Amino acid sequence: MGEAELQQLVSGCLKDDRLSQKLLYKAFYGFAMGICLRYANNRYEASEVLNQGFFKVFKNLEKYDSAKPFKAWLGRIMVNASIDYYRSNLKVAYTEELDKAEHINDNDYADKNLSYNELLDMISKLPRAYRTIFNLFAIEGYTHEEIGEMLNISTGTSKSNLHKAREKLKVMIAESERMPGYTAKQSGDNIIPINQNNTPNLSISFINRTNKK
Amino acid sequence: MKEEKEDSIDKLFSRGLSDPGDNASYREEDWDALEAMLDGKKPKTAGISRNIIYLITTIAAMLLLVIGWAFFRPDNSSNTNQQAGNKKPHVKQDSGKYGSPVQQQEVLASSTLSAGKSNTDSADGKGRKRKSFFTLSAVPGNRIPTGKTTSIVVPHYTEATAKQDTTPPDPRLNNIAANGNKANEPIANNLNVKHDTTPPDPAINMAAIKHADSVINGSKKTELVSVVDDIKKPRKTVGTAVSYQPTFAMSIIASPDVNGVNGFNNTRVGTNAGLMLTMGVSKWTISTGAVYADKPYAAPFSAYSTAYKFATNPTEVYASCTVLDIPLNVGYQVYNKNRNKFSLGTGLSSYFMLRENYTYDYPATGTPGPATYNIRNKNQHIFGVLNLNATYQREINSRFGLAIQPYMKLPLTGIGYGKVNLRSAGVAVGATWNIISGKKPK
């Protein structure tokens, strides 16, 4: 989308024109969905968060500084919407105890050839707290201090959750190597199952409590 | 070393998840959900159904009201007819035989008066006081048209009785009136009758005088009730003579119409169907209802306004809209002979745009820009359209009729997303059911 076209759409949206809103939504849907999918349990949840994000975009569009890139502004709103969603679902969250006995080879993961679907499937299987922190740190590039502030947790909790997230992902990658293609099959229709049936030692605890320690 | 390794897993995900590809492809239902949020932060399905439920309940309530009245009212009138019928024999007998208290007593005995009983129970003086009070109120010249029963002064009598008469009625009398038993009803009515402003028939007054005499003469008991009946008679006839009762009718209408923007040069044919309720008082009618309309139209882009700036303007906009039209019209009957009626009407319509589908036609194929735009339940135009119509109605019988109504709808505001001057003209055909007709059907 050209800069002039974008400006036209933005000015249309500022007048609450529904057609402009729809075209802007359509233009940035893929980009925004890419962010929301990473934070969400599944596509349905991602759509919900995405719409909450776009709702904020349309309601706060006058705050957007047209000198700055729109995509970055929109992306930040989507991340914030995902965090808001995470916060609203904090009450009962699932944390998983790591199987300490399992030995994981510290391979070099950077050149692993895993598809988008496989990676998304793995990340969506992470407990929500781990997933959020992993996303913020590893993909969005926030520091632990920033994350601590955003999620209202201590830097230590952020660090330890990131570590646990990484360990979980490593286990999943190792499993996928043992049974190649199993994730791809599972996520064949783009809808990631909510049931995490391949995580055997799942225990329920209040994540708020563990965080406040 | 470890940090590096962990960094590599971050990189794997960061890079691998950077491009969602087809996984995040656009879905129309997501936009629908967001649009619902933008429209009022409520789930879409709830939004639509709530509007429609309100509408349906309103119409249903109106129908129930009218139909309820239609079925309740004939019962009522037949009751009053019965009552009138019951009274008639008394009146006839009375008018013919005023001088014969004996016969009157016979009649009155059959009318189950408990007032008489209480009279016999009561002391003589009190009983007389009560009776003379009622009887004397009917003496000509002494009636105070709007006066209360307690303020009646009767100079016709001897001073002693007159004084008694001006005193407020015996509390027991009030009890009788308030009792509300069937047997006491005539007395209760009597009290009402005294409020009647119409002067009584002189013949009846004559009878009243005679009754009064009979009271004085000591033949007490029930004459006063016959006076009640006598006075009631003129009141009855007056009541039925004046009738400005409204009429109610329900119609089912359907019509083809032509829709054009800024005139009727380039028109498309649409269809309408709906239900109308009409209330009439003498020559005037008020009608409302709900009409579901399908309004397709074609407009040059110049007639179509949008806040969205097209990179290349389309040449033509084709629209297909479904509209819920709620009219509120008044009509005046200019002709009514035999079974034919002709009336002219005007009013305002509210358009609820249920669905608007726009297709944009560009000068050259392959021009970038939106091809279609669909919206639902977005625009409402309350009293935004002027209605003009003429109605010819022919009665089949007193209950049913057929109507033909040429009409025109001229918008007072821009209609729909494109704010177009969408005019409609058509001929509606309808069947009318008179739920309550002014004339009593035989």
pLDDT band for position B206 (cuts 50, 70, 90)? low
pLDDT at B309 over 60: yes
Residues in chain B within 8 Å Cβ distance of A134: 13
Q: Given CB atoms, is A70 within the 8 Å cutoff of chain B?
A: no
Q: Which residue has the tokens 């105890």?
A: A97
B80, part of any domain: no
B120, part of any domain: yes
A36 contacts A53 by C-beta, under 8 angstroms: yes
pLDDT at B253 over 90: yes
DSSP symbols for B368-382: SS-SEEEEES--EEE
Q: Would you call A119 and B31 a contact, using CB atoms and an 8 Å cutoff?
A: no
The per-residue pLDDT for range A85-124, each reduced to its tens digit, is 888 876 544 444 444 434 555 566 766 778 888 888 898 8
Q: Given CB atoms, is A116 within the 8 Å cutoff of chain B?
A: yes
My answer on whether B103 and B235 are in the same domain is yes
Mutate to test the interface with A, among B18, B23, B356 (most CBs of A within 10 A): B23
The per-residue pLDDT for range A127-171, each reduced to its tens digit, is 888 899 999 999 889 999 999 988 888 899 899 999 989 988 888
Tell me what pLDDT residue B8 has: 81
Chain B residue with CA closest to A28: the answer is B26
My answer on whether B172 and B104 are in the same domain is yes
Q: If you average pLDDT over residues A59-80, what whole number do you get? A: 89
Structure tokens given for A142: 């926030």
Chain B residue with CA closest to A15: the answer is B307
Highest mean pLDDT among B86-90, B154-158, B213-217: B213-217
Q: Given CB atoms, is A67 within the 8 Å cutoff of chain B?
A: no
B40, part of any domain: no
Q: Given CB atoms, is A8 within the 8 Å cutoff of chain B?
A: yes
B32 CA to chain A: closest CA distance, Å?
10
DSSP symbols for B113-171: -HHHHHHHHS-HHHHHHHHHHHHHTTSTT---TT--GGG---TTS-HHHHHHHHSPPPH
Q: If contacts are CB pairs under 8 Å, which of residues 347-406 in chain B contact chain A?
A: 370, 373, 375, 378
Structure tokens given for A4: 């002039």
Q: Which of A139, A136, A124 is nearest to A40 (CA)?
A: A124
Alpha-carbon separation of residue B113 from B117, B221, B223 (angstroms):
7, 10, 11
- Architecture label for domain A93-212: Orthogonal Bundle (1.10)
Instruction: Among B241, B275, B291, give the residue marking a domain's end.
Output: B241
pLDDT band for position B4 (cuts 50, 70, 90)? low
Residues in chain B within 8 Å Cβ distance of A37: 20, 23-24
Longest dimension (CA), chain B: 134
Instruction: Among B241, B262, B297, give the residue marking a domain's end.
Output: B241
Cα atoms found within 13 Å of the Cα of residue A189, Cβ hemisphere only: 3
My answer on whether B225 and B266 are in the same domain is no
B30, part of any domain: no
- Read off the CATH number of the domain in which B396 is found: 2.40.160.20
pLDDT band for position B164 (cuts 50, 70, 90)? very low
Residues in chain B within 8 Å Cβ distance of A166: 6, 9-10
A49 CA to chain B: closest CA distance, Å?
11
My answer on whether B231 and B305 are in the same domain is no
Nearest by CB to B31, from A15, A22, A58: name it: A22
Q: A29-33, A182-186, B53-57: lowest mean pLDDT where?
A: A182-186
Tell me what pLDDT residue A7 has: 87
B393, part of any domain: yes
B290 contacts B272 by C-beta, under 8 angstroms: no
Q: Given CB atoms, is A159 within the 8 Å cutoff of chain B?
A: no
pLDDT band for position B247 (cuts 50, 70, 90)? confident
B34, part of any domain: no
Q: Would you call B8 and A109 a contact, using CB atoms and an 8 Å cutoff?
A: yes
B14, part of any domain: no
Residues in chain A within 8 Å Cβ distance of B20: 30, 33-34, 37, 116, 120
Q: Given CB atoms, is B18 within the 8 Å cutoff of chain A?
A: yes
B173, part of any domain: yes
Q: What pairing do the DSSP bridges indicate for beta strands B284-300 and B267-281?
A: antiparallel
Q: Would you call B33 and A119 a contact, using CB atoms and an 8 Å cutoff?
A: no
Q: Kindly report the number of other CB atoms within 10 A of residue A68's CB atom.
A: 9
Residues in chain B within 8 Å Cβ distance of A106: 2, 5
Q: Kindly report the number of other CB atoms within 10 A of residue A196's CB atom.
A: 15
My answer on whether B180 and B312 are in the same domain is no
Tell me what pLDDT residue A212 has: 41
The per-residue pLDDT for range B264-297, each reduced to its tens digit, is 888 899 999 999 999 988 889 999 999 999 999 9
Q: Kindly report the number of other CB atoms within 10 A of residue B153's CB atom.
A: 14
| Count of positions (residues) in chain A | 213
Q: Is B331 left (phi over 0), alpha (psi -120 to 50) or beta?
A: beta
Q: What's the CA gap between B227 and A200, in Å, rounded?
A: 100
Q: Which residue has the tokens 């016709």?
A: B156
Identify residue B99 by its one-letter amino acid code.
G
Q: What is the ipTM of this complex?
A: 0.73
Number of domains in chain B: 2
For chains A and B, CB pairs below 8 A equal 125
Q: What's the CA gap between B146 and A195, in Å, rounded?
A: 86
The per-residue pLDDT for range B102-113, each reduced to its tens digit, is 444 444 444 444
My answer on whether B127 and B229 are in the same domain is yes
Nearest by CB to A110, from B12, B23, B370: name it: B12
Identify residue A177 by its one-letter amino acid code.
E
The per-residue pLDDT for range B59-102, each reduced to its tens digit, is 778 777 776 776 666 554 444 444 444 444 444 444 444 444 44
Which residues span the domain enclosing B373? 245-436
Longest dimension (CA), chain A: 60
B441 contacts B425 by C-beta, under 8 angstroms: no
CATH code reported for the domain at A3-88: 1.10.1740.10
Residues in chain A within 8 Å Cβ distance of B378: 18
- B420 - beta bridge partners? B415
Q: Given CB atoms, is A20 within the 8 Å cutoff of chain B?
A: yes
B358 contacts B418 by C-beta, under 8 angstroms: yes
More confident call, A183 vs B262: B262
Nearest by CB to A8, from B14, B19, B309: name it: B309
Q: Is B59 exposed, middle or buried (0-12, 13-18, 19+ CB in 10 A)?
A: middle
Q: Would you call A110 and B24 a contact, using CB atoms and an 8 Å cutoff?
A: no
Tell me what pLDDT residue B6 has: 65
My answer on whether B141 and B216 are in the same domain is yes
Mutate to test the interface with B, among A106, A142, A143, A169 (most CBs of B within 10 A): A106
- pLDDT mean across residues, chain B: 69
Q: Would you call A123 and B17 a contact, using CB atoms and an 8 Å cutoff?
A: yes
Structure tokens given for A15: 């007048």
Q: What's the CA gap between A71 and A64, in Å, rounded?
A: 11
Q: Would you call A110 and B30 a contact, using CB atoms and an 8 Å cutoff?
A: no
Q: Would you call B6 and A166 a contact, using CB atoms and an 8 Å cutoff?
A: yes
B333 contacts B285 by C-beta, under 8 angstroms: yes
Q: Given CB atoms, is B40 within the 8 Å cutoff of chain A?
A: no
Residues in chain A within 8 Å Cβ distance of B23: 33-34, 37, 116-117, 120, 190
Domain ranges of chain A: 3-88, 93-212
Instruction: Among B181, B215, B241, give the residue marking a domain's end.
Output: B241
Q: Would you call A19 and B14 a contact, using CB atoms and an 8 Å cutoff?
A: no
Q: Would you call B13 and A19 a contact, using CB atoms and an 8 Å cutoff?
A: no
Q: If you average pLDDT over residues B383-392, what whole number do you get? A: 93
Q: Would you call B8 and A110 a contact, using CB atoms and an 8 Å cutoff?
A: yes
